[in-house]
A and B are shown apart, each in its own frame.
Chain A
């Protein structure tokens, strides 16, 4: 099955064609990036060898993430280079059509829907904000500010007969308090960042083995921010950092990203 397919990275308005990458940088590296135009739209594509891609994915499925990494990075890098365009609808990794005619047929059939999505995204870019909470700091603060917890802490350190039970209860109470603090902080940060954004979305916090952070992530938000609002958005982030720095909270900014989180999960089913 050495067939070739046409891999689609995303769709933009035809008037933005000059801002889209072409030539080098395609997934697999054998064929150039190419724009396929249809009506008012243009698809960012490259030819891929389907069996080669499947081979790579099988390796990834068997636990070899190193095989997947260059593929997903290539997909993202191509789209990242298209960020100069006013708007772009990113496609999910692994979207492959049989040939260019199929790409054109799909774009023609979905032209209106794609145009509406592009309109919604025009003039804005996606930014990511992750909040990480240092549990020891948050726990210590919660304990100090709560008389009941403070008393338990004093008793558990006392060396008396009830110290063991006091310590056990303290652990349970602290864990509960930590959950509350994490939820409050995450909601607060998300709400205040969302005010500076056209749209906002929440994703599940990444676990440490994926995130690369040892400190637990309590917020993993995505924000579609208008270019003119980017200054405000960053200022708001800085404000939150200063405000919560002594509570063990760290805020990480990523982006700009193609608007992955804001193109809707609605599958565009054809056929």
Chain B
């Protein structure tokens, strides 16, 4: 890092916890997939995100706190474990393909 960070980060106003921020910025918000974004980065991010998510969900389930999963009226858009597993599966497939040759183009 030789160049000065002229446009460096400003101090955060709220002092929000890292967990709250990770949960939102890594797992929420509009996602864009396709040729126009950088796929390699996308996959790396997914890995981090999933690891955090799984840690979070498993720990909660361990404590018996899983009532939101069984109540469709309360669960957020029918997501939950099924969606998470599907995403993990997709990620594993993507990683497998990338390991053998060119990464596949999604979209």
Within 8 A of A (CB), among B58-75: 59-60, 63-65, 67-68, 71, 74-75
Q: Report the stretch among A12-20, A149-157, A231-239, A261-269 that lies at the interface.
A: A261-269
Given A24-B7, A29-B7, A73-B21: A254 and B16 interface contact (C-beta under 8 Å): yes
**A77-B9, A186-B67, A206-B23 known; A91 and B32 CB under 8 Å?**
yes
Q: Is A179 an interface residue (CB 8 A)?
A: yes
Q: Is A173 an interface residue (CB 8 A)?
A: no
Residues of chain B within 8 A of A178, CB atoms compared = 64
Cβ B18 vs Cβ A69 within 8 A: yes
A112 within 8 A of B: no
A146 contacts the other chain (CB 8 A): no
Q: Which residues of B contact A89 (CB under 8 A)?
A: 30
Tell me, rounded to whole Å, the shortest Cβ–Cβ distance linking B37 to chain A: 6
- The interface residues of chain B lying within 8 Å CB-to-CB of A245 are none
* A206 touching B19, Cβ below 8 Å: yes
In the complex, A60 has a CB within 8 A of chain B: yes
Q: Mark B33-49, 1 if CB is under 8 A from A, else 0.
A: 11111101110110110
Taken together as a complex, chains A and B put the C-alpha atoms of A92 and B45 apart, in Å, by 10
Residues from chain A with a CB closer than 8 A to the CB of B79 are 265
Near A by CB (< 8 A), chain B positions 3-40 give 3, 5-14, 16-38, 40
Interface stretch (choices A136-144, A162-170, A208-216): A208-216
Query: Can you name the residue of chain B whose Cβ is closest to the Cβ of A46?
Result: B7
Closest Cβ neighbor of A83 among chain B residues: B13
With contacts defined as CB atoms under 8 Å apart, how many contacts are there between chain A and chain B in the complex? 218
Q: How far is the CB of A83 from chain B (nearest CB, A)?
A: 9
**Contacting residues of chain B (77-101) with chain A, CB-CB under 8 angstroms:** 77, 79
| Min CB–CB distance A177 → chain B (angstroms) | 11
Least distance between B39 CB and chain A CB atoms (Å): 10
A31 on the B face (CB < 8 A) = yes
Residues of B within 8 A of A96 (CB): 37-38, 41
Taking the complex as formed, is A248 at the interface, i.e. its CB lies under 8 A from any CB of chain B? no
Chain B residues within an 8 Å CB radius of A97: 36-37
Query: Which of A10, A58, A95, A102 is B44 in contact with, Cβ under 8 Å?
Result: A58
Among residues of A, the one whose C-beta sits closest to the C-beta of B15 is A254
- A93 with B64: in contact, given A80-B14, A102-B36 (CB under 8 Å)? no
6 A-B interface contacts by CB (under 8 A): A73-B9, A77-B10, A183-B65, A206-B23, A255-B14, A271-B34
B residues with CB within 8 A of A: 3, 5-14, 16-38, 40-42, 44-45, 47-48, 52-53, 55-57, 59-60, 63-65, 67-68, 71, 74-77, 79, 105-107
